[in-house]
Amino acid sequence: MSLRDLYAYILRWRRRHLSDNQFVLIVSFFVGIFTALSGLFLKWLIARIEELLTHEFVITGGNWLYLVYPVVGIYLTMLFIRYVVRDDISHGVTKILFAIARKQSKIRLHNTWSSVVASAITIGFGGSVGAEAPIVLTGSAIGSNLGRAFCLNNKQMMLLVGCGAAGAVAGIFKAPIAGLVFVLEVLMIDLTMTSLLPLLVSCVTAAGLTFAVSGTNPVFEFHLQDAFVVNRIPAYILLGIVCGLVALYFTRTMNWLEGIFRRLGGRYRRFLLGGAILSLLIFLLPSLYGEGYDLISLLLNGEGEADWATAMDRSFFYGHPEWLLGYLFLIILFKVFASTATNGGGGCGGIFAPSLFLGCVSGFVFSRLWNIYGVLDLSVPERNFAMLGMCGLMSGVMHAPLTGIFLIAELTGGYALFMPLMIVAVGSYLTIKAFEPHSIYAMRLAQRGELLTHHTDHAILTLMSMDSVIQHYDEVLYPEQTLADVARQVADSKNHVFPVVNRQMQFIGAVYLDDIRHLIFRTELYRQFQVSQLMKQPEATLSINDGMDVVVSVFDRTRAWTLPVVDSQGVFVGFIRKSTILTVYRQVLTDFSAD
């Protein structure tokens, strides 16, 4: 039996013996396994590359190879993407959101492995980004391509994409609850009983396999310094506000820097700028090398000044513990530059790890300053606040307070601080929400009207495409044609409106059947009227690039029933009828809502 025959047999067998919901549960199990294995391999590969490159570095001063490794990593990644992948693989979570909203949850096959290789090279050589977003894209690509292989429908494909993302977060962080919540908050996939079980299966499977391979200890060892006490609530609230402001700085600075890299044009210009910024920053602040998890572990478990001062090992700050706060403040200031330079220069990585890293440092600096200045005559535990800062930054940057709460609790085992985690997460989220309505992942899509949200009406319009509602015309009218030409076209058509274009096919007007009905049967007038005399301007003209929310708002504003669509050059594309929009809307709503 050939592979094709076996594949056809499997499809026939599953249709006869398994319902769609049962089959999705089975596929979600394998999605969890493959995603966990991908995450374990990526983490292992990054650790081996970093160990190979840096194990002989001295801790008593600067290491000049920090100027070389990041540039080499970005260059190798750029060559890999250009000559092997030949596709853009940056902004992993944004790509998932776009695939759900605009590409029927279809993610290219190469994304099941390309992000793993590219991010391992980038981060292993010092790229100041995280491995989590690439593995989330990998997991979603695994779910998407398994769904396509077994001919599942759009809604089931969307669910499997969510299963891949949930399994990735659950596996790489050993955090099954956070994996589930991440899909609901960040990918904005609505939760029903039908979708809950596959997501749970992927999360539990991925986390269970990771536990079996790497042990059940949390990713970050954390020892509770002090339990929750009520009189520290003002400090928690203020930390949440500070984390929200740092998240705002991180988000807006990253967008500004990305704009600079986009305007540079050529890839080698971007590479030179990104490589120069990243290498210089890592040379001066070695804690920016890679994901930065060593510094997180240090701040979460350090016992005092002597331990914390080791954060400045391998740098020119070594031996000066009095400079610690200044060193950490520089890290807060320049982490966003290092992360953006990594991706902007041609590297591959995400902002999960930078968010955790920046949050931990911010929480620690906040608590040290609080204690130094004796605010409210109340001391606060630095280790606890370093952990709470991780929650605050993640909540603010991703606009996902529940993900921040559960992820940090599972990541560190800090369940005893659930109340402070909730206070900091909510404070950070409300602070940044006052300035930025969308997360760093979603803002680009939101600006283009391509973001799927929990608002059902907006979600349905986002899932609808222009192509599904446009009526294309094989024949058009020209201004110099006569009423006789119009009559011939009317006789062979069921349409009530006919486009008028110039010789460059640019739309200039429309002839409406209701306007010429009283002339159409008077043959003696056929040579007396030209199309230019019969045509009218429609109430509005739509662009092929408009989102469906814009299309619907234009129809509502003009009260029109039919409107023309043109491309960016004004070339006629077709007409959209309000009745067609309502029909397609109902079909998508039925598919979207069905359990």
pLDDT of residue 453: 46
C-beta separation of 139 from 107 below 8 A? no
Task: Give Cβ neighbours of residue 523 (< 8 Å, ≥ 6 apart).
Answer: none
Report the range of poorest mean pLDDT among 33-42, 333-342, 353-362, 490-499.
490-499
Smallest Cα–Cα separation from 361: which of 425, 423, 455, 297?
Answer: 297
Most confidently modeled range among 93-97, 373-377, 387-391: 387-391
> What is the end-to-end Cα distance of the chain in Å, rounded?
37
pLDDT of residue 595: 46
Instruction: Assign 189 a pLDDT band (cuts: 50, 70, 90).
Output: low
C-beta separation of 230 from 58 below 8 A? no
Between CA 419 and CA 428, with CA 423 as vertex, the angle to 5 degrees is 150
Instruction: Assign 592 a pLDDT band (cuts: 50, 70, 90).
Output: low
The dihedral sign for the CA sequence 215, 167, 38, 396: negative
Mean pLDDT score of the chain: 87
Mode of pairing for the β-strands spanning 572-577 and 562-566: antiparallel
pTM score above 0.85:
no
**Number of residues that this document lists for the chain:** 595
Q: How far apart are CA 278 and CA 341, in angstroms?
A: 6
- Is residue 495 exposed (0-12), middle (13-18) or buried (19+ Cβ within 10 Å)? middle
Q: How far apart are CA 346 and CA 364, in angstroms?
A: 32
C-beta separation of 559 from 525 below 8 A? no
Decide if pLDDT at 455 tops 60: no
Q: How far apart are CA 547 and CA 539, in angstroms?
A: 18
What is the side-by-side strand order in the sheet with 572-577?
470-471, 572-577, 562-566, 542-543
Question: Which two structure tokens, joined as six digits, stand for 436?
Answer: 């930025």
Give 538-559 pLDDT, tens digit per residue.
989 999 888 787 888 888 888 8
Give me the domains of the chain, ranges plus CATH numbers.
3-214 (1.10.3080.10), 230-448 (1.10.3080.10), 458-593 (3.10.580.10)
pLDDT of residue 380: 93
Smallest Cα–Cα separation from 167: which of 123, 131, 146, 137?
Answer: 137
Q: How far apart are CA 74 and CA 271, in angstroms?
A: 7
Q: How far apart are CA 283 and CA 293, in angstroms?
A: 18
Instruction: Assign 347 a pLDDT band (cuts: 50, 70, 90).
Output: very high
C-beta separation of 292 from 128 below 8 A? yes
pLDDT of residue 585: 74
Question: Which two structure tokens, joined as six digits, stand for 150?
Answer: 């077994």
Helices (H), 67-226: 69-80, 92-102, 114-124, 132-149, 154-173, 176-185, 193-214
